[in-house]
């Protein structure tokens, strides 16, 4: 099918498609058009990676907008939202505005109403529904990317409930669900009352196989010799072999540390295949990467990139990731070692995909657990770049014959697992039942069951009894904690319940926070950081060997800071959780004491992306705590707000005012402070030469900061930097490195430099 034959598109779009290289639709794409994707028809497309799902989504959204509607594109990961937005911005010439909804959870973001396409995560859409964003009623088309993730125990239920709610708000909504190839795509289509396109078609042939000994055995029985020399690792041999034919490799491993270690080793392999020009290009790229942040991760990444390899995991910052992905796409980087988390969603095709680790540590499972077939197939799908590679190869590694047989059984021959709703899990039910009652979707117990009947769970469940009993347990919990009132059949959310739902908190987090806040009138920052760190909404930092002792000691040392009862050492699981929350709390305290990012990364064994993640989550949870404290008229409101601000800016108490000036940042605020400019008001009055000196002579920066502080004449023309201010400011850097312990000491830290 040619683009010109697609009905319902805005004029000019078909020509534009042809100009951008889409001369003909891929067969599965054509099938979606035949089934009415551009005419408002709901559809589930279950097709392999790289078979052009994005275009299917775009066709649906463009035609919907052309008919006067608004489209919503739901992404599975926040990190993908801006990428998708950038991708859709190619339609700007057709008067299509794209918006991205990333703002904080507790808002309805009215401005989004003016956009034609909005990109958001399912959590964000869920919260928009809870906050009653009126523009949701105007939606005509919603796309759910990677819809097979409804299967995910943690995040799946949100996607499931969100789709059910959107369909209820707008009964004739077009729903386009994009899925990996799963066995029971028909169940998903059934649930969504949608047409189904199911296909195994790929733009590039894919061969899958297992490497064992000195050869890869492929699924068609053919073998390719890839000898492994003595002392060489099979992965290295495979990457080297691919490079002999100028093919790139994507290696999947099971942890960040493994990704970094493998990249270091593979860098020696890729380095041997570089031309002089490539070496120059990589040197420039490495510098760019090192400039992204001054952390060890940044330097480590730069070091391997210089030699043509890279690692890729969720600990990288967004800038790192896009630099690495771009360079891999244009073949400057020859091999990437990745954890599966992000790589699944990112468009980084490669000649050869090597699944080195097919088992991963799983806490609930209590050991190393084999990856799901679906996940491994998603990794396989990254093999073969259309237009670049004649074919793609995906290879698993076996150490012995038995493993080789197992891998063939488990991954090469096997069909992926069916998608199975996880809605009946209690944490999911807690959150979603409260939200469903609070936002008025259901006002009675039977209304609630009725709503749940529109979920995938109901489509799949044989017995409704299990669902009913979970619902009753959860309602009892919500009632006991004061989030809902039950009056016979009638259900209403209490004020507290409404707040919790709008704040997007797990009710269990809210209950923990409320109890903790009630336990102390004048909580310390550490106490508050610990409180939010022990809620189910904060991802845990694992305790490493030795940590148990360190944090047990700290736990006794700072015992008076904790809000609520400290569990005894003999309550094994609870105590362990308490300590791991303490580790997170200590990280936050270090951050709010101006410790360098690099030092924090080293001390806690995390990457800069993790620090950012913890800080963002803490800021959100403390904001929620502040709202709860206000709602309940508790005395600790001010203490909570201050602890939140300190995390937000990453500064000690005395810098709070300065750090609130836009564009200042924690380091510059500290330098200004040391030079005697201690507040926003000081910025408006201070000698410009002092300000300039403290800002290391950077005129533009100084002007911008003065302007943001509200100074009338921010110009730095003819101002020269005060040397003394500059050296005071340098002294300040020392304070940033200095370890601080108690909150009490912090008030006097002005004396340091
Ligand atoms: P998926 O989301 O299915 O993994 P993408 O939508 O990212 O795959 O598409 C993979 C690549 O194929 C993109 O670079 C896209 O531009 C290209 N592509 C999609 N459809 C066509 C087509 N009909 N003809 C040529 N290239 C296409």
Whole-angstrom Cα distance, residue 536 to residue 507?
9
Which atom belonging to ligand 1 lies closest to the Cα atom of 24?
Answer: 23
108 versus 298: which is more confidently predicted?
298
Residue 276 has pLDDT above 60, yes or no: yes
Nearest CA residue ID for atom 16, ligand 1: 52
Question: Class for domain 507-650, per CATH?
Answer: mainly alpha
Out of 54, 181, 250, 344, give the residue to mutate to test ligand 1, the one with the largest number of ligand atoms within 8 Å of its CB.
54
What's the CA gap between 539 and 533, in Å, rounded?
Answer: 8
Of 165-174, 285-294, 475-484, 508-517, which range is least confident?
285-294
Average pLDDT, the chain: 89
The Cα–Cα gap between 508 and 427 comes to: 8
Pairing relation of β-strands 117-121 and 70-75?
Answer: parallel
Q: How far apart are CA 532 and CA 163, in angstroms?
A: 29
* 3 Cα–ligand 1 center, Å: 14
**CATH 1.10.10.10 spans which residues of the chain?**
426-503
Question: How far apart are alpha carbons 124 and 78 in whole angstroms?
Answer: 9
Which fold is adopted by the domain 426-503? Arc Repressor Mutant, subunit A (1.10.10)
Q: How confident is the model at residue 733 (pLDDT cuts 50, 70, 90)?
A: very low
pLDDT at position 735, please?
41
Residue 536 scores a pLDDT above 60: yes
How do strand 335-338 and strand 223-225 relate by DSSP bridges? unpaired
Burial of residue 147 (CB within 10 Å: 0-12, 13-18, 19+) is: buried
CA-closest residue to ligand 1 atom 12: 52
CA of 410 relative to ligand 1 center, distance in Å:
28
Distance 89 CA to ligand 1 centre (A): 16
Indicate which atom in ligand 1 lies nearest the CA of residue 26.
23
Cα-based angle 278, 280, 284 (whole degrees, multiple of 5): 115
Burial tier of 291 (Cβ tally within 10 Å: 0-12, 13-18, 19+): exposed
Q: Cβ neighbours of residue 319 under 8 Å, at least 6 residues apart?
A: 292
The mean pLDDT value for 78-106 works out to 84
Q: What is the pLDDT of residue 364?
A: 62
Q: Closest Cα to residue 430, out of 531, 524, 501?
A: 501
- What's the pLDDT at 738? 36
Answer yes or no: are the C-beta atoms of 663 and 708 closer than 8 Å: yes
Q: Which two tokens stand for residue 583?
A: 């580790």
**Residue 242 CB contacts under 8 Å (≥ 6 apart), including other chains:** 248, 249, 351, 352, 393
Q: Which atom of ligand 1 is nearest to the CA of 47?
A: 3
More confident residue, 719 or 37: 37
What distance in angstroms lies between residue 83's CA and the mean position of ligand 1's atoms?
A: 15
pLDDT of the residue at 687: 94
Contact 311, 301 (CB under 8 A): yes
- Residue 103 C-alpha to ligand 1 middle, in angstroms? 30
Q: From ligand 1's centre to the CA of 9, what distance in Å?
A: 18
274 pLDDT more than 70: yes
Tally Cβ neighbours within 10 Å of residue 713.
Answer: 10
Query: Nearest C-alpha to atom 17 of ligand 1 is from which residue?
Result: 52
Q: Look at residues 76, 6, 66, 65 and name the one whose alpha carbon lies nearest to residue 37.
A: 6
The number of the ligand 1 atom at minimal distance from the alpha carbon of 381 is 4
The predicted pLDDT at position 239 comes to: 97
Nearest CA owner, ligand 1 atom 1: 50
Q: Using the 8-state DSSP alphabet, how is residue 350 labeled?
A: B
Please give the number of the atom of ligand 1 that sits closest to the Cα of 203: 12
- How many other CB atoms sit within 10 Å of the CB of residue 650? 23
CA distance 147 to 75: 9
pLDDT tops 90 at residue 12: yes
CA–centroid distance for 435 within its chain: 23
Residue 160 Cα to ligand 1 middle (Å): 26
Strand partners, 492: 485
pTM: 0.79
Separation of CA 90 and ligand 1 centre (Å): 15
What confidence tens digit (pLDDT) does each residue in 575-585 have?
Answer: 999 999 999 99
- Residue 388 pLDDT level (bands cut at 50, 70, 90): confident
Residues with CB under 6 A from ligand 1: 21-22, 25-26, 29, 49-55, 347, 386
Average pLDDT on 93-106 reads 80
25 pLDDT band, cuts 50/70/90, is very high
Residue 676, both tokens: 């005697």
What is the whole-number distance in angstroms between the Cα of residue 207 and the centre of ligand 1?
A: 19
Residue of the nearest CA to atom 8 in ligand 1?
50
Which protein residue's CA is at the shortest distance from atom 18 of ligand 1? 52
Neighbours of 570 (CB within 10 A): 7
Q: H-helix or E-strand containing 279?
A: helix 276-292
What per-residue confidence (pLDDT) applies to 107?
Answer: 61
Percent of the residues in the chain that have a pLDDT greater than 90, as a whole number: 68
Q: Which pLDDT belongs to residue 486? A: 93
d(CA 216, CA 407): 13
Which residue reads 């969720």 in tokens? 314
22 alpha carbon – ligand 1 mean position (Å)? 9
User: How far is Cα 658 from Cα 709, in angstroms, rounded to an integer?
Assistant: 9
Superfamily of domain 3-198: P-loop containing nucleotide triphosphate hydrolases (3.40.50.300)
Sheet holding 139-144, edge to edge: 98-100, 117-121, 70-75, 139-144, 174-179, 43-46, 195-198
Q: What is the DSSP string of 64-109?
A: HHHTT-EEEEEESSHHHHHHHHHHHGGGGGGT--EEE--S-SS---
- Measure 25 CA to ligand 1 centroid, in angstroms: 10
What's the residue count for the chain?
753
Q: To test the ligand 1 pocket, which listed residue (26, 30, 52, 202) has its Cβ within 8 A of the most ligand atoms?
A: 52
Q: How far apart are CA 575 and CA 733, in angstroms?
A: 37
DSSP-assigned beta bridge partners for residue 183 = none
Distance CA 428, CA 219 (A): 40
Looking at residues 11-18, what average pLDDT do you find? 96
End-to-end CA distance of the chain: 71
pLDDT greater than 50 at residue 483: yes
Cα–Cα dist 692/705, whole Å? 10
Q: For 654-713, what is each residue's pLDDT tens digit?
A: 999 999 998 888 999 999 999 999 999 999 999 999 999 999 888 888 999 999 999 999
DSSP string, 292-314: H-SSHHHHHHHHHHTTTEEEE-T
What pLDDT shows up at residue 698? 87
Predicted pLDDT of residue 514:
95
Atom of ligand 1 nearest to the CA of 347: 7
User: Which residue intervals of the chain bear CATH 1.10.3380.30?
Assistant: 507-650
Range(s) for CATH 3.40.50.300 in the chain? 3-198, 206-412
Report how far ligand 1's centroid is from the alpha carbon of 222 (Å): 29
Residue 56, class by beta-carbon neighbours within 10 Å (0-12 exposed, 13-18 middle, 19+ buried)? buried
Q: How far is CA 652 from the centre of its chain?
A: 28
What per-residue confidence (pLDDT) applies to 394? 96
Return the ∠ at Cα 389 (arms to 387 and 393), rounded to 5°.
135
The protein residue whose alpha carbon is closest to atom 5 in ligand 1 is: 52
The Cα 513–Cα 687 span in angstroms is 45
pLDDT tens, position by position, 324-357 = 999 998 899 999 999 887 555 667 888 999 999 9
> Taking a C-beta distance cutoff of 8 angstroms, is the pair 607, 295 a contact?
yes
Alpha helix stretches (DSSP H) within 351-444: 373-380, 401-407, 426-438
Give the model confidence (pLDDT) of 612-666 as tens digits: 889 999 999 999 999 999 999 999 999 999 999 999 999 999 999 999 998 888 9
Supply the pLDDT for residue 466.
81
Nearest 5°: CA angle at 200, between 196 and 204? 135
Superfamily name and number for 206-412 = P-loop containing nucleotide triphosphate hydrolases (3.40.50.300)
How would residue 742 be classed by pLDDT, with cut points 50, 70 and 90?
A: very low
Give the pLDDT confidence of 281-319 residue by residue, as tens digits.
999 999 999 988 777 889 999 999 999 999 998 788 888
Token reading at 592 = 């709010």
Q: Which residues pair with 444 in a beta bridge?
A: 490
């Amino acid at each position: 099918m040619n683009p010109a034959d697609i009905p319902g598109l805005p004029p000019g779009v078909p020509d534009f498609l042809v100009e951008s290289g889409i001369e003909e639709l891929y067969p599965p794409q054509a099938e979606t058009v035949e089934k009415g994707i551009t005419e408002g028809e709901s559809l589930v497309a279950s097709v392999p990676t790289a078979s052009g799902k994005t275009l299917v989504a775009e066709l649906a959204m463009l035609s919907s907008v052309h008919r006067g509607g608004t489209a919503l594109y739901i992404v599975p990961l926040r990190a993908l939202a801006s990428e998708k937005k950038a991708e859709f911005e190619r339609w700007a010439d057709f008067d299509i505005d794209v918006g991205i909804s990333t703002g904080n959870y507790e808002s309805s973001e009215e401005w989004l109403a003016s956009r034609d396409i909005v990109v958001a995560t399912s959590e964000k859409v869920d919260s928009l529904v809870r906050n009653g964003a009126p523009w949701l009623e105007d939606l005509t088309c919603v796309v759910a990317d990677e819809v097979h993730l409804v299967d995910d125990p943690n995040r799946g239920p949100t996607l499931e409930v969100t789709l059910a709610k959107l369909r209820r708000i707008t009964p004739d909504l077009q729903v386009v669900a994009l899925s990996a190839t799963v066995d029971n795509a028909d169940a998903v289509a059934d649930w969504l009352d949608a047409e189904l396109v199911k296909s195994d078609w790929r733009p590039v042939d894919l061969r899958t196989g297992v490497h064992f000994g000195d050869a890869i055995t492929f699924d068609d029985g053919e073998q390719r010799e890839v000898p492994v020399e003595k002392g060489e690792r099979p992965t290295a041999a495979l990457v080297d072999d691919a490079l002999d034919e100028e093919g790139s490799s994507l290696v999947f491993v099971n942890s960040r540390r493994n990704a970094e270690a493998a990249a270091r080793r593979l860098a020696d392999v890729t380095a041997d295949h570089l031309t002089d020009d490539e070496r120059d290009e990589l040197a420039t790229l490495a510098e760019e990467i090192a400039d992204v942040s001054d952390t060890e991760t940044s330097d480590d990444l730069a070091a391997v990139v210089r030699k043509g390899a890279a690692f890729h995991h969720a600990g990288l910052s967004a800038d790192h990731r896009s630099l690495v992905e771009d360079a891999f796409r244009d073949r400057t980087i020859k091999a990437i070692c990745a954890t599966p988390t992000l790589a699944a969603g990112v468009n980084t095709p490669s000649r050869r995909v090597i699944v080195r680790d097919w088992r991963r540590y799983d806490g609930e499972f209590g050991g190393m657990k084999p990856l799901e077939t679906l996940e491994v197939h998603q990794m396989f799908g990254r093999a073969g770049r259309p237009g670049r590679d004649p074919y793609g190869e995906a290879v698993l590694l076996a150490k012995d014959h038995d493993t080789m047989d197992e891998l063939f059984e488990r991954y090469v021959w096997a069909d992926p697992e069916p998608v199975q709703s996880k809605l009946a899990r209690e944490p999911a039910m807690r959150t979603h039942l409260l939200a469903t009652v609070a936002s008025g979707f259901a006002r009675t117990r039977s209304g609630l069951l009725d709503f749940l009947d529109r979920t995938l769970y109901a489509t799949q469940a044989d017995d409704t009894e299990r669902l009913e009993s979970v619902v009753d347990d959860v309602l009892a919990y919500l009632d006991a904690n004061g989030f809902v009132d039950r009056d016979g059949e009638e259900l209403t959310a209490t004020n507290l319940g409404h707040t919790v739902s709008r704040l997007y908190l797990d009710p269990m987090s809210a209950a923990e926070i409320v109890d903790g806040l009630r336990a102390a009138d004048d909580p310390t920052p550490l106490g508050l950081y610990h409180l939010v760190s022990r809620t189910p909404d904060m991802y845990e930092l694992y305790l490493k060997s030795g940590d148990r002792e360190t944090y047990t000691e700290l736990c006794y040392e700072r015992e008076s800071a904790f809000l609520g009862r400290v569990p005894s050492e003999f309550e094994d699981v609870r105590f362990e959780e308490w300590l791991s929350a303490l580790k997170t709390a200590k990280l936050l305290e270090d951050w709010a004491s101006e410790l360098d990012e690099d030092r924090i990364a080293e001390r806690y064994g995390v990457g800069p992306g993790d620090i950012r993640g913890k800080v963002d989550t803490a800021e959100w949870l403390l904001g929620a705590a502040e709202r709860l404290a206000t709602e309940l008229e508790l005395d600790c409101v001010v203490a909570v707000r201050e602890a939140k601000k300190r995390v937000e800016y990453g500064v000690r108490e005395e810098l709070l005012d300065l750090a609130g000036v836009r564009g200042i940042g924690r380091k510059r605020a500290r330098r200004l402070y040391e030079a005697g400019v201690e507040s926003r008001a000081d910025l408006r009055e201070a000698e410009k030469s002092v300000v300039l000196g403290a800002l290391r002579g950077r005129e533009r920066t100084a002007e911008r900061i003065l302007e943001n502080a509200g100074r009338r004449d921010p110009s730095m023309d003819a101002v020269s930097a005060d040397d003394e201010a500059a050296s005071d400011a340098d002294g300040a850097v020392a304070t940033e490195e200095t370890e601080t312990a108690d909150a009490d000491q912090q008030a006097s830290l002005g004396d340091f430099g």
